[in-house]
Structure 1
Amino acid sequence: MNQTILELYQEHFGEAAQGVQALPLSGSDRKYYRLSSPNGQALGVENPAEEENLAFVSFTQSFLDLALPVPKLLGQSLPQNCYLIEDLGPNTLLQSLEEARKNGEGHFPDRFYNYYKNALIALLDMQLEGHKKIDYSLAYPKADFDKQSMQWDCQSFKYWYLLPAKIPFDAEALEQDFEHLVDFLAQAPANYFMFRDFQARNIMIKNERPYFIDYQGGRRGPLQYDLVSLLFQAKAQLSNKDRQRLLQAYFQALKAREPHWDRQEFERYYLGFVLLRSLQVLGAYGFKGHYQKKGHFLASIPFALENIRWLLEQDLLPLPELNRLLKALIRQPKEQLPKPKEQALRLHISSFSYKRGLPEDPTGGHGAGFIFDCRFIHNPGRYAPYKKKTGLDEEVKLFLVEDGEIEQFLAQIFPIIERAIQKYLDRGHSDLGVHFGCTGGQHRSVYSAERLQQFLQSRFGPELDLRLQHRERPHWPK
């Protein structure tokens, strides 16, 4: 962890952080840490992408000036590639919706219609008012969602989804259809702020209000793209009826502020962006599933194809080759669709004490793996305040993070473990072990095992059956 984050926290809250929790990694290289003390809680962010940091900080300041629902910026050190922001809590709109469904509240309870509607009204504020304050010269990687950006989405679908699906196509005819689609969409009014990744997982719910995160990829673009991104998010599985209700609410709010909009014209571009976004999503799922070996993305493909099925029933542009291919994709038998492996790789993680010997292979000799020696790392157990604590306690975590040595160690070994896991998944192996040892199996090894579990949960999701054991737990001081 970048020590500057701790300095930013102390500068803002007037005291040192007493708790530090590394949050699970997402699809980017950004790292998040939840810091806390009696004076307050915040998120520390470190990100090696300097241009992305600059865009986020600049956009955030502009949005806060307009009282838009984004996290407060509590501190920044762009030369050190880190900043401190308000902690909006753990509840994303998508997680909350999935939890409500599990609890039997129904597919789309009324309170979630209100969450979505309020999020769309706040989005409209960002698109219209935020656009006037944004410095687009800082937009990363591009200032405009232009024809080139749209072509990238089309090509992503072709190379990362269509080709692996092994459906024959006329390359020249398909490129002509892509060009016609892009030419049409490029005519849509585009003098607005475009979030680019406006999905329910990037909307936090705090005190019953929506807040937006991860808008650092924003740029100038059309209104419809963000609307489509939320309403047609494959994993959220909104019904056509609920989409129409939300579309109606959004358009009414837009019409009240920009009366020149025609509903029929708006929806023609809306359907076109449903198609473009669907191609982009399938390409992204194919890339992450086939190339990055993150099989849980493949599990969302059937939901994305249901969006395509609905779209083909609408009045689309004359795109003969593309429409033919999309019809072929939705006619594929389910057993032919790319899907994650049925059985996850069992990943055995443990902490142990060298005094009590090396860990046994829980598979009875069939699981290979790694043993990492943490004894060279500065040991908090040498000091009286930590002798009865463990690597699960915030005080010990903070000691190790502030010291910095253990995070450098983990940053070197995580890529090694990640490569091994990818090979094991490719070859269909069933078990792999990763074990961390230290003197007492209480501080450094425990912290390392917990951090690895967080890292692997975010990187591989349901592809791994993670099994964590702290072997010396029965011997820890009471």
Structure 2
Amino acid sequence: MELSEIELRTEEAFGHSEGGPYSLVLIDKGGSGRVFVRITGVPKEGSVVVMHFTNDRPDNIRFAPITDFLLNNGIPVPAILARNEELNILWMEDLGEIDLHMIAHEDWAKVRRPAYESALRNVFLMHQMTEEAPPADVPIMEPGFDEELYEWERGYFLKRYVGPFVSEQAAEAIGADEGLQSLGESLSRLPRSLVHRDFQSTNVMVVGRDTRMIDYQGMRWGRPEYDLASMVYDPYTEFSAEEREHLIDYYFSLKQAAGHEETMEEFRSILTKCAMQRLMQALGAYGYISEVMGKPEFLQHIPTAKERLLELAETCPEGRILTEILSE
């Protein structure tokens, strides 16, 4: 959709701009393929963010009902101010331009730690909604994490990263390993809660002293540790060992306060497995986005993702094949 039409539809939704024409600026938020535009000069709102999407991806179609659900259940996400369902346009609250990734060089104690703790508290609200006792208004979502989806993530990793960037022989050997196959099997037997699915630094906006999640249209049933792993092992962001441990301990304290009875050892074991799954998926995504979608800037994240995957694999028997082949 052309910017001129987005401007026209904005005038229809909000009226003519006060004090001059609207100002429209394209926003690039990664590899999603949707179009985001920040518009300033909007009556009463000042500025809004417009999202236009096609029907090619079912998760994009579900963005609005999932947003409504999250807001109705007290989970901080941007409000939808207006919508044109026929043209697939949403006008959303403008949360500003600062996400967690952008504060990477700020002081840990004064800025980064409070922001990350806020983000973990917010996603924990989502994690409290379980498949065993689901909310009455839970919307239609993407298929949940099960053995098939975990297997798909590993296949994506092999096809889009290991084959092209290491070798086809390596992909074949890793794909045949029973230990790595058992990773998803063990996770798929565990109880599930609602998860964001892509809970990483560029998908959490910093708004004053608080944070808000974005890009949550992939919400589904899964393990909450998958979201935690997506954040604390995020290849976009550097943490010291102490900082990462603090965030893991902080999240575990939220679970304890909510009455969860698992031990730290059990929690850590699940977190490690989820982190390995997440990093395999991320490596596959970086390969696909850079090679197929023509965005080579995503190649810069591959070394960090690989390093973190191997660090985890060294502590997990199921990941032995990764250290044997990818460390070479």
What's the counterpart of residue 183 of structure 1? 185
Q: Where does 1:177-326 land on structure 2 (aligned, <5 Å)?
A: 177-190=179-192, 192-314=193-315, 316-326=316-326
TM-aligned CA deviation for residue 170 of structure 1: 7.7
- Equivalent residue, structure 2, for 1:30: 34
Matched, 1:73 2:75: no
* Residue in 2 that maps onto 1:415: none
TM-superposed CA distance for 1:301, in Å, is 1.7
- The residue number in structure 2 matching 1:159 is 159
Classify 1:125/1:252 alpha carbon distance in 2 versus 1 (closer, same or farther; 3 Å). same
Separation of aligned partners in 2, 1:173 and 1:41: 49
Distance 1:253 1:170, change over 3 A: closer
Judged with a 3 Å threshold, the aligned counterparts in structure 2 of structure 1 residues 305 and 321 are, in CA distance, closer, same or farther, namely closer
* Structure 2 stretches lacking a partner, 5+ long: none
d(CA) in 1 for partners of 2:162 and 2:60?
Answer: 34
Structure 2 CA distance for partners of 1:67 and 1:173, relative to 1, 3 Å: closer
Deviation at 1:4, TM superposition (A): 7.4
CA contact (8 A) 1:228 1:270 kept: yes
Q: Is the deviation greater in 289-298 or in 167-176?
A: 167-176
> Given that residues 201 and 236 in structure 2 are in contact (C-alpha distance below 8 angstroms), is that contact kept between their aligned partners in structure 1?
no
Query: Within 1, Cα distance between the matches of 2:301 and 2:275?
Result: 17
Shift of 1:208: 2.1
| Cα distance, 1:186–1:282 mapped onto 2, change above 3 Å | same
SS at match of 1:303: helix
Q: Distance in 2 between matches of 1:130 and 1:178?
A: 27
Q: Is 1:43 aligned to 2:38, yes or no?
A: no
Q: CA deviation at 1:182?
A: 1.2
2:128 paired residue number: 128
Contact between 2:314 and 2:320, CA under 8 Å: does it hold in 1? no
**Can you list the C-alpha shifts for 1:183-214, whole angstroms capped at 9, x where unaligned?**
11112321x11101001101111122101111
RMSD: 2.6
Whole-Å separation in 2 of the counterparts to 1:14 and 1:277: 44
Which residue identity is paired with 1:213?
Answer: I
State the aligned residue count: 317
Tell me the secondary structure at the aligned position of residue 128 of structure 2.
helix
Relative to the length of structure 1, the TM-score reads: 0.61
1:118 and 2:118 correspond: yes
Change (3 A) 1:205 1:320: closer
The structure having more radius of gyration, on CA atoms, is 1
Q: 1:163 to 1:255 in 2, by over 3 A?
A: same
**1:411-422 equivalence runs, <5 A:** none
The change in CA–CA distance for 1:29 and 1:49 in structure 2 (over 3 A counts) is: farther
Write out per-residue CA displacement over residues 241-269 of structure 1, whole angstroms, 9 at most, x where no aligned residue. 21111011111111111332322211111
SS at match of 1:292: coil
Percent of aligned pairs sharing the same letter: 26
Shift in Å, 1:135: 5.4
Say yes or no: does 1:63 pair with 2:70: yes
AA paired with 2:268?
E
Question: Which residues of structure 1 form unaligned runs of 5+?
Answer: 329-478
Aligned partner of residue 113 in structure 2, secondary structure: helix
Distance 1:24 1:84, change over 3 A: closer
The alpha-carbon distance between structure 1 residues 130 and 74, as it changes in their structure 2 partners (threshold 3 A), is farther
Provide the secondary structure at the position in 2 that maps to 1:71.
coil
SS at 1:138's partner residue?
Answer: coil
Distance 2:299 2:171 in 1: 25
The change in CA–CA distance for 1:318 and 1:309 in structure 2 (over 3 A counts) is closer
Q: CA deviation at 1:5?
A: 5.0
1:85-124 paired onto structure 2 within 5 Å: 85-98=92-105, 100=106, 105=107, 108-124=108-124
Is the alpha carbon distance of 1:319 and 1:29 closer, same or farther for their aligned partners in structure 2, counting shifts above 3 Å?
A: closer
Map Cα deviations across residues 333-377 of structure 1 (whole Å, 9 max, x no partner): xxxxxxxxxxxxxxxxxxxxxxxxxxxxxxxxxxxxxxxxxxxxx
TM-score (norm 2): 0.87
Kept after mapping to 2: 8 A contact 1:196/1:218: yes
Change (3 A) 1:313 1:239: farther
**In structure 2, how many angstroms separate the alpha carbons of the residues matched to 1:58 and 1:134?**
14
Distance 1:312 1:221, change over 3 A: closer
Shift of 1:122: 0.9
How far residue 237 of structure 1 moved from its aligned partner, in angstroms, is 1.5
Indicate the residue corresponding to 1:174 in structure 2: 175
* Partner residue in 2 for 1:19: 22
Offset from partner CA, 1:27-84 (integer Å, 9 cap, x none): 1231112222253211111101273344111111111122321101111122211111
Give the match's secondary structure for 1:235. coil
